[in-house]
Chains A and B, each alone.
Chain A
Amino acid sequence: MAALLLFISVSKKCVKCKEAPAALVIRAGDAYCRLCFKDFFVHKFKAVLGKNRIIFPGEKVLLAVSGGPSSCSMLRQVQEGLSQKANKKLRFVPGIAYIDEGAAIGQSVEERQRTVAELQAVFQATGFPFYILPLEQVLDLPASVVATNPSPSEQPASAYKAAVGHFVETDGSNNFPTPQEPKKMLLPHVQESHTLQQLLGSVKTLTAREELLNTLRQHLLVHTARTEGYSKLMLGDSCTRLAVKLLTSISLGRGAQLAQDTGFSDSRYGDIILVRPMRDYSAKEIAYYNHLFTVPSVVIPSVDTKTVDKASIQRLTESFVTKLQADFPSTVSTIYRLQLHTCFMHISTLNILGTCVLQVFSASCPSLTVKPSTCVTQDQREAAECMYEMVRSRALRPMSAVSVQPGYCCG
């Protein structure tokens, strides 16, 4: 009997096709063979886009690729979905954006060039147009980045269907851009790198620095999308990542913004809509997919690499969620499911709070020795955040800590 049981467990069949031997187990009991796993994975990507009907046929979509496993997996999904042999083809026009944050973590020019070269090879292989943006560019952004541009008029539900029909008729396949010559990344000026490092250095805690970096990154992406004529920005946040982000948001007091911060789409910028199509994949699924189907990804250190758990709230939350997930395998999905029940309070309701901290305090930010324009390009959130840190570091005494905390202002 025991031998029989052993035999069954060794030669476990795929739960889907019930023929091929299983190659991996995703959740307890769900054993998939290689091919069924691929179908499952690919289907999920198309299903999430099909269900939400946010990306219209022929639309230009900018993929934010960091080089990590999740965004590289997303890139592969788009590639596969657009290939001629795919059934239920994706119908949008992709471009790739990569932000080189080497300056933020103090990498040398050589190190940065090496990483960029590695990614350039990956991007070139896709044939999509790509933009390699050093984070320093964020210093030159116009103040209008933070503005909410009017969104193209509200589309009725039937518009999507009509657009698809039109697209199929006109055979949109020739809309695709011809692969262009890759632009050489303009190396940032040493002075600019220095300014960026000074800006990040003026923020005292790693928690605030990560938040600041996050927003700078987002602004650069949104700006690039706007100037290059893209209307959607695809982010590669996985379910695991979003669960961590959700709990971090709660711990930072950003409960009201949680729905937009972690939801499928974020329309706060108006004309550019952020989309998170990888939100149904766990980090484990992505890791297996990348491994089985040799999706290349690049290891890039970030500001919290090689730090202790308590270095920042983001770092602490990440280790808390991953440890709990090991003991209770439903942790990530349970946390993430909460997001589906929340919604965004409209900015108009939040604005009752009055003028944002940004306008009130940016003039009194002497410790930020950067151009005032960069202070303005920071979203209200960061201003509040950096203000908060400054209040602490310079021992200014606010009436109550609550009034200057991040997350207490709009958007």
Chain B
Amino acid sequence: MPVQCSSCSEKRAVLKRPKTGHSLCKECFFWTFEEEIHQTIVSAKLFKPGESVGIAASGGKDSTVLAHVMKVLNERYNYGLELMLLSVDEGITGYRDDSLETVKRNQQQYELPLKIVSYEELYGWTMDAIVKQVGLKNNCTFCGVFRRQALDRGAIMLKVGKICTGHNADDVAETVLMNVLRGDIARLRRCTAISTDSENEGVVPRCKPLKYAYEKEIVLYAYFKKLDYFSTECIYSPNAYRGYARTYLKDLESVRPSSIMDVIHSGENLSVREGVKMPVQGTCSRCGYISSQKLCKACVLLEGLNRGLPKLGIGKHHRFHDKILSQQPLTEEEERKLKAVDF
């Protein structure tokens, strides 16, 4: 017997929501999905009327759905937001160039302005060139650190007051588990926040409107709406350790679908003992970007690349910061340790 939609009881259900177990028809699903994101935005007071907001768009499912839903909700509830698409071109041949084509099509479909910032223009290095120097290990460190800053710089160029990213519930839960496995209490505390602090000057606050949306539902939404998105894994990311957290989370989900929300809830309610040392936010003395050290990670990584010592920014090498700042050369012994491993 076909299952009827549990909301309107008229049409046939097309899916069973993993989050609640409800069976819904297409229209009810669209409505619920959008409405939940609206509730997330309203209850967390993510946006102010008249604000201009940059949507971090990679062309993948999450950011495509985000762009679509933001546009729909902006019109439906008169947020009064000025939406823009913001993309980062990491310079990965065969991956990013194709996905950027998708973003460009999205720009036409949603009629939103688009800005693309590239690693090459910002840092003088493409990911292809970086991987050539550092190999396939740790290359994601470069990409991740650079993208974070590239998004900020792009946002400043676009003069937007906020960036929203397509992080979904699965991503947040995965990050909570990752930080538990790494014992990183400082990040564990920060990673469930829906929005970053907006106190810092020079840093554009970022928020995650899809924080409570399941990856599965995002995929289904994109599928039923026939959204145009790009689905290929990055060619440079085997990403070993995160893979463990990911597998575990997916297994958890298959045992009890609500556990993704449970993990996020745990992360949000973890109270940290007083007196636990937390990093203090300062600014990078070279580029002025936020940093807990003298130099921000991006500057150290870049210095390493330019000096031909890619391992300079991998792991903790705070003791070299003074030398980098004063443009001193490193000793031979130090250089030997930081050179790329020959294969």
Q: List residues of A whose CB falls within 8 A of some B CB.
A: 205, 207, 246-247, 249-256, 258-259, 309-310, 312-313, 316-317, 320, 324, 331, 334-335, 337-338, 340-345, 392, 397-398, 400-402, 405, 407-408
Which interface residue of B19, B181, B244, B263 has the most chain A CB atoms within 10 A? B181
With the chains together, A309 CA to B247 CA distance in Å? 13
With the chains together, A207 CA to B256 CA distance in Å? 9
Contacts of B273 in A (CB 8 A): 259, 340-343
Known interface pairs A334-B181, A345-B271; 8 further A-B residue pairs with C-beta atoms within 8 A, sorted by A's residue number: A207-B255, A207-B256, A251-B252, A254-B266, A335-B181, A344-B271, A402-B258, A405-B265
Q: List residues of B whose CB falls within 8 A of some A CB.
A: 6, 19-22, 176-177, 180-183, 185, 188, 244, 248, 251-252, 254-256, 258-259, 261-263, 265-274, 276
CB closest chain-B residue, reference A205: B256
Contact of B19 among A256, A320, A401 (CB under 8 A): A401
CB closest chain-A residue, reference B186: A341
| A402 and B271 within 8 A (CB) | no
| A250 and B266 within 8 A (CB) | yes
Q: Majority SS of interface residues in chain B?
A: helix
CB closest chain-B residue, reference A312: B255
| B180 and A343 within 8 A (CB) | no
| A342 and B270 within 8 A (CB) | yes
Contacts of A316 in B (CB 8 A): 248, 251-252, 255
Contact of A259 among B182, B255, B271 (CB under 8 A): B271
Contacts of B6 in A (CB 8 A): 397
| A250 and B263 within 8 A (CB) | yes
Contact of B256 among A259, A313, A397 (CB under 8 A): A313
Contact of B262 among A246, A253, A309, A340 (CB under 8 A): A253
| B272 and A341 within 8 A (CB) | yes
With the chains together, A251 CA to B252 CA distance in Å? 8
Contacts of A320 in B (CB 8 A): 244, 248, 251
Minimum CB–CB distance from A212 to chain B (whole Å) comes to 15
Contacts of A402 in B (CB 8 A): 258, 261, 265
CB closest chain-A residue, reference B192: A255
CB closest chain-A residue, reference B266: A255
Which interface residue of A207, A251, A259, A338 has the most chain B CB atoms within 10 A? A251
| B269 and A255 within 8 A (CB) | yes
CB closest chain-A residue, reference B251: A316
Contacts of A247 in B (CB 8 A): 177, 180
CB closest chain-B residue, reference A250: B266
With the chains together, A252 CA to B262 CA distance in Å? 6
Contacts of B254 in A (CB 8 A): 310
Minimum CB–CB distance from B166 to chain A (whole Å) comes to 22
| B263 and A400 within 8 A (CB) | no
With the chains together, A112 CA to B188 CA distance in Å? 45
Contacts of A253 in B (CB 8 A): 259, 261-263, 265-266
Which interface residue of A254, A324, A341, A405 has the most chain B CB atoms within 10 A? A341
Minimum CB–CB distance from A327 to chain B (whole Å) comes to 9
In the complex with contacts A207-B256, A251-B263, A338-B180, A400-B251 CB distance below 8 A? no
Minimum CB–CB distance from A243 to chain B (whole Å) comes to 10
Contacts of A256 in B (CB 8 A): 266, 269-271
Contacts of B176 in A (CB 8 A): 250
Contacts of A313 in B (CB 8 A): 252, 255-256, 259
Identify the 7 closest CB pairs spanning chains A and B, nearest first.
A255-B266, A253-B262, A256-B269, A343-B273, A334-B183, A250-B266, A341-B185
Contacts of B268 in A (CB 8 A): 255
Contacts of B258 in A (CB 8 A): 401-402, 405
Contacts of B274 in A (CB 8 A): 343
CB closest chain-A residue, reference B252: A251
In the complex with contacts A401-B20, A405-B258, A310-B271 CB distance below 8 A? no
With the chains together, A337 CA to B180 CA distance in Å? 9
| A401 and B251 within 8 A (CB) | no
With the chains together, A13 CA to B256 CA distance in Å? 50
Contact of A335 among B22, B183, B244, B252 (CB under 8 A): B183
With the chains together, A252 CA to B19 CA distance in Å? 14
Contact of A255 among B244, B251, B252, B270 (CB under 8 A): B270
| B271 and A407 within 8 A (CB) | no
- 25 A–B contacts from the bound complex (CB under 8 Å): A207-B255, A249-B266, A251-B262, A251-B263, A253-B259, A253-B262, A253-B263, A253-B266, A255-B267, A256-B271, A259-B273, A310-B251, A310-B254, A316-B248, A316-B251, A320-B244, A334-B182, A337-B183, A340-B273, A341-B185, A342-B185, A343-B271, A344-B271, A401-B258, A402-B258
| A405 and B255 within 8 A (CB) | no
Minimum CB–CB distance from B250 to chain A (whole Å) comes to 11
Minimum CB–CB distance from B22 to chain A (whole Å) comes to 7
Contact of A342 among B19, B255, B263, B272 (CB under 8 A): B272
With the chains together, A405 CA to B20 CA distance in Å? 11
Contacts of B256 in A (CB 8 A): 205, 207, 313
Contacts of A252 in B (CB 8 A): 259, 262, 266
Contact of B265 among A338, A345, A400, A408 (CB under 8 A): A408
Minimum CB–CB distance from A49 to chain B (whole Å) comes to 21
| B276 and A341 within 8 A (CB) | yes
In the complex with contacts A250-B176, A256-B269, A343-B272, A338-B22 CB distance below 8 A? no
Minimum CB–CB distance from B288 to chain A (whole Å) comes to 31
Contacts of A405 in B (CB 8 A): 258, 261-262, 265
| A335 and B180 within 8 A (CB) | yes
Minimum CB–CB distance from B143 to chain A (whole Å) comes to 23
With the chains together, A397 CA to B276 CA distance in Å? 42
In the complex with contacts A250-B180, A343-B273, A401-B258, A407-B252 CB distance below 8 A? no
With the chains together, A251 CA to B181 CA distance in Å? 13
CB closest chain-A residue, reference B19: A401
